[in-house]
Structure 1
């Protein structure tokens, strides 16, 4: 029976490829470590900015949190999808995903700039706070997994 992994199950190739297995393990750990703190910071942002700025603060903070959490989840999705393709494709997917996220966020922010129903500063501050917490959680997940950063050719993670 294959173990459950975020975004699907392991492929036959991933069970043999130490790079793929390491990336899938890291993506699952990053999800576990970041989802609850990110949601928590988003909720705190909604409550705090709701108290300070009323309904526009609630709406702005909720949109900011949703954008930041969605961005983090897109990163994990790309990690999962590119894991079996090799390190060079993984790096290309990371760079392409980063550029795609920047463009999407730019377009969304441009579309929201004149919306009177939301408080822009609440959106921005909440978004930055969630991104910082998610990045810190991702770093903690990497340290906690104790994955080797260099895996010599021909070795597998089960040989350790």
Structure 2
């Protein structure tokens, strides 16, 4: 009697997302939560600082440009965390592919948005760019700090210590 491959436990679990028993998923969700908590207020604070600073230096166009740049950078960071959460239960290979694809997608999206905003006179382009870069750097630094401080399980193969 031959066994139907569609009903074997291995094929059933391979197509279904793994839930809370998956240590990789728990680690990814823990890391995504920590990265969000660590990056939220420094990113928003940097964006507000950019709005105030460029508002004083370049007027209303500078403040508006800084606000748009800060908002784009914050949304960009949130997309990364959303991808981490969405792919946490699908295994490390899918998570890495989503991270790389998300990174490339974010760069393309920012390039398209920046190209579309090039001719808008209400925006001061230098304030937009400088604020966006500052928020991205602060968010990336805060996310790296969250990664270092988050206690995640590490697997050490037998014989390698």
TM-score surpassing 0.5?
yes
> Normalised by the shorter chain, which TM-score bucket?
0.7 to 0.9
For the 8 Å contact 1:57–1:118, the answer to whether it is kept is yes
Q: 1:52 aligns with which of 50, 57, 71?
A: 57
Aligned residue among 37, 45, 53 for 2:42:
37
Q: How many residues in Structure 1 have an aligned counterpart in Structure 2?
A: 141
Contact 2:18/2:90 (<8 A) preserved = no
Hey, what does 2:89 align to over in structure 1?
Answer: 84
In the alignment, structure 1 segments of 5+ residues that lack a partner are 1-11, 154-160
Partner of 2:32: 27
**Structure 1: how far apart are the matches of 2:155 and 2:77?**
26
Q: TM-score, normalised by structure 1?
A: 0.85
Partner of 2:131: 126
Q: Structure 1 residues 15, 152: closer, same or farther in 2, change over 3 A?
A: farther
> What is the CA-CA distance between 1:14 and the residue it aligns to?
3.3
RMSD value over aligned CA atoms? Answer: 1.4
TM superposition outliers: structure 1 runs of 4+ over 2 Å: 150-153
Is the contact between residue 18 and residue 151 of structure 1 (CA under 8 Å) also seen in structure 2?
Answer: no
The equivalent of 2:147 in structure 1 is 142
Distance in 2 between residues matched to 1:47 and 1:151, nearest whole Å: 47
Structure of greater Rg: 2
